[in-house]
Structure 1
């Protein structure tokens, strides 16, 4: 009897250790790729010098498959919001590299004992840059561009040299930033350029788990911990589901030209100052008749890193956002040096988005749009009559 009991205990112990054993995959090269379901491929460098190497996915709304692929092996996981998966990459048969794939924690502040409804001054300048005041590290008052096409907080190099007296350590240290009456903790990054007349970018994810209302009629940005009932009951809003690609929010929109329609996912980019940017590779795939779009002008634009982006501006017959149709929209068409590397995407910019009072629900991952007093105004790149 004692022998049988000891054998059973040994079997239980073996099963437990087997279940806790991490998957091991092989690699003969330090270069790998990570495939996120519904996302572009990410490049990865395998390094035995890092104790625990972590890849963080973008915000997940539901579980998805992630595949880690070396030059000779691979492993796949099903991962949900706030979860993580560990495995070992054996490099050249000798170096064990502990690797983790994780998704961000789920944030939802709707159950706070004291609700937050914090109103902040919010404006759009003549360059179509939105901006709001912040206080960094209890010392420096700065003007930031609220950019839903960006994450984290970045200060321009000029602002870091001339206006930020706190001398922050970039990339790794958490600092306090006051927006309205609320204090947030964040890392600071550097960029070469931001929207005109601003000191940097305020990414969307600082407000993850909250609701952000943009009221262009009253020049207010309002941060809510709980959705106001008057918004839910306002029938003038159109509602859009958010899809996160590369950790940026996208909504579905439609363009049309000469009777040809094309529906797709557009980056909701408050930091892009123009109307819309259309990816020429996607347009070709959809057989969209760009040759029938009247060319307005050709220019060189610059990304946040100062990179040159050649762009053609042409007249688009119709842009449809939900139930709203915008006619004769000057659209930028891009083919080279794309703003988001390795990704073919369309952009919705602030010369369109400023025309809608907006609610960004980062709890239910939805966006609400309602026309405001700017809805019928002209565009910065509009075709001149008689031209």
Structure 2
């Protein structure tokens, strides 16, 4: 998943604050859980946007500057350069101060943020829905935040009025904050040895675990692994190796054979240059708990939810698919006659032709963007930029990206027939799903 990692401090900004409107003791805000990450509604200077809720980011960032520039007011702007996680150079951004952010019934009238006007930096296609920005520390520092992954809502509490309830099934785990980012102690088991690890709590990552190879600490990549694309950061793509470890534990909870990703050495050097960090816990682990995150008292309360026992599964096709815009699809309209053209709504144009009535509907288009070398999809002959139009006889036009990608996570041996468009011609490919790690 798309990870944003900023390499500098934001101490120059004033200490702004979120407050619940008068008379509101707590506020419940629904979110969408997409690829293990949380998407919440945020109003910025009167404009409704969608933000990732990311414990690993400091100041808010707005991505789709070009899309919103006509309506979004950028106040007190100053051009700067940012360096983030990835294999590219700095990106240009605008630093803006004294903005009004509204999240549910929580308001901050002095919020600073960064906006990036590089149209190539767009995380929406990877998630299958528009993503306008990302927010983290500024919200968490002002509230005790309940994150209910199973029911998909967050609840904001005034930290001075919040009272913890007794919970026999919960575990309270201490956190530490460094540069406004939360860290937690966990344990991993490798080669029959239990090793302590300091991990970033990273709700903005869709992965389960990241570990940084460190032979002095005993953290090393297992013999069974495969090379893969790990995600997209502010400064480009991140690559590394994927594997599994025997066991991971946090507090009194543990997981057998969880997935783990090892980013390449250049990324690791960047992430560990200023503090003793061994990796991160991402959304695929966090979603298995309902959490109470308390930055002011530096602790997180964990309680298992209905997602706790979900298996840790890999993409067995080797195909990374993204939303690639839209296509105009012709459908028969049995209720119309004659010849005319009319606009029904923003997504539908109805065409009544002389030869018979047709309805042209705008549908999402999904294209292959990355193919893992030697994977079933690669060996079958699929290519980057192939547009997938059918899977096992089902049209992808009526599927979400999540539904499409879920086909790649079915059990090994499942047969897939994929019809694609390549240079305007339809082609059909068949293969069986195979786990990249035996």
- TM-score band by shorter chain is 0.5 to 0.7
Residue 166 (1) aligns with residue 72 (2): yes
Hey, what does 2:306 align to over in structure 1?
373
CA distance in 2, matches of 1:163, 1:106: 24
Task: State the partner residue of 2:115.
Answer: 190
For 1:147, the equivalent position in structure 2 comes to: 54
The 1:130/1:228 distance shift into structure 2, 3 A limit, reads: same
Question: Unaligned 5+ residue runs, structure 2?
Answer: 1-6, 78-93, 317-410, 413-434
Q: 1:114 & 1:233 partners in 2: Cα distance?
A: 26
Single out whichever of 307-316 and 167-176 deviates more from structure 2: 167-176
Moved more, 244-253 or 263-272: 244-253
The offset of 1:364, in angstroms, is 1.0
Q: Secondary structure at the match of 2:186?
A: strand
Cα deviation, residue 335, structure 1: 3.1
Instruction: Give the secondary-structure state (helix, strand or coil) at the position aligned to 1:299.
Output: strand
Of residues 185, 188, 191, the one that matches 1:255 is 188
Number of residue pairs matched by the alignment: 281
Structure 1 unaligned runs (5+)?
1-41, 44-54, 58-101
Q: Compared with structure 1, are the counterparts of its residues 193 and 234 closer, same or farther at alpha carbon in structure 2 (3 Å cutoff)?
A: farther
Distance 1:242 1:276 in 2: 17
**Tell me, what secondary structure is at the counterpart of 1:174?**
strand
1:116 to 25, 30, 38: 25
Aligned partner (choices 229, 247, 266) of residue 318 of structure 1: 247
Distance 1:367 1:137 in 2: 32
Equivalent runs, 1:270-285 vs 2, <5 Å: 270-280=203-213, 283-285=214-216
Alignment of 1:93-108 (within 5 A): none
Q: TM-score, normalised by structure 2?
A: 0.58
Q: Contact conserved, 2:99 with 2:111, CA < 8 A, in 1?
A: yes
TM-score computed with the length of structure 1 as normaliser: 0.65
SS at match of 1:161: helix
**Aligned residues: CA RMSD:** 3.1
Give runs of aligned pairs for residues 1-387 of structure 1, distance below 5 A.
116-125=25-34, 127-138=35-46, 140-156=47-63, 159-163=64-68, 165-168=71-74, 169=77, 170-184=94-108, 185-191=110-116, 192-194=121-123, 196=127, 197=129, 198-226=131-159, 228-229=162-163, 231-280=164-213, 283-292=214-223, 294-295=224-225, 297-338=226-267, 340-341=270-271, 342-343=273-274, 344-381=277-314, 387=438
Residue 109 (structure 1) shift? 8.2
Q: 1:238 to 1:305 in 2, by over 3 A?
A: same
Are the equivalent residues in 2 in contact too, given 1:212–1:359 (CA < 8 A)?
A: yes
Residue equivalent to 1:31: none
Answer yes or no: is the 8 Å Cα contact 2:43–2:102 preserved in 1: yes
Alpha-carbon deviation of 1:228? 4.5
Is the CA contact 2:187–2:195 (under 8 Å) kept in the aligned structure 1?
Answer: yes
Q: Please tell me whether the aligned partners of residues 109 and 209 of structure 1 are also in contact (alpha carbons under 8 angstroms).
A: yes
Gap change, CA 1:306 and 1:381, over 3 Å in 2: farther
**Contact preservation (8 Å) 1:249, 1:268:** yes
Secondary structure at the counterpart of residue 255 of structure 1: strand
Q: 1:182 to 1:246 in 2, by over 3 A?
A: closer
Q: Alpha-carbon deviation of 1:105? A: 6.7
